[in-house]
Structure 1
Amino acid sequence: MIQEIIETKLQDTFQPEYLQVVNESYMHNVVPGSESHFKAIIVTSIFEGQRLIMRHRQVNQTLSEELRNHIHALAIHTYTPQEWDELKKKAPDSPMCLGG
């Protein structure tokens, strides 16, 4: 199961205080039960002092095999513990797919 692989790799790499991986494939024009569109919310002190681009690069590198072979889209939300607290522990919702 791709979602479990994503969760395991992100957990092992970032040791997050909070991790949520959501399969959002149902929001897209794909076969029911697909695992192709995901949202990852990662909260870790590892991101302290890092710009957003560096955080995303680290996530992309961690999931490079899955991105290359299985994942069509990945929404990445990366926060430090302080940023997460300031957001009242809520990441933005993903929009429904408007494409075909």
Structure 2
Amino acid sequence: MNTVELLRQRLAVLQAESIAIEDESHRHAGHAGAKDGGHFVVHIVAAVFAGKNTVARHRLVYDAVGDLMRGKIHALAINARTPDEV
């Protein structure tokens, strides 16, 4: 399973209405640290983010992603919104 599929699988626990994942690894070729993991952007819309600030939303995403951040992912940009914010 590739990293995008793994991310999508892990993020399923947030019961998102939508998830879009962009692999931007090719834009960071040669970057120190990029050899060990990819660069990804996650756009996620989920009701679980309601009433939470940006830091709390990102923590939920990082908790869901778990150990991928210590291997397959070098950098993760997160755009986390509620359905009402879309």
TM-score by length of 1: 0.74
Q: Cα RMSD over matched residues?
A: 1.5
What does residue range 1-100 of structure 1 map to in structure 2 within 5 Å? Answer: 1-11=2-12, 13-30=13-30, 36-84=38-86
Separation in 1, partners of 2:60, 2:49: 10
Give the unaligned 5+ runs of structure 2.
Answer: 31-35
Compare the two structures and name the one with the higher strand fraction. Answer: 2
Higher share of residues assigned helix: 2
Cα offset for 1:8?
0.9
C-alpha displacement at 1:46, in angstroms? 0.8
From the superposition, tell whether residues 16 and 50 of structure 1 become closer, same or farther in structure 2 (CA, over 3 Å). Answer: same
By relative contact order (CA 8 Å, sep 6+), the higher-ranking structure is: 2
State how many pairs are aligned. 80
Q: Which ranges of structure 1 fall in alignment gaps of 5 or more residues?
A: 85-100
The normalised TM-score by structure 2 is 0.85
Percent same amino acid at aligned positions? 34
Whichever of the two has the greater Rg, that structure is 1
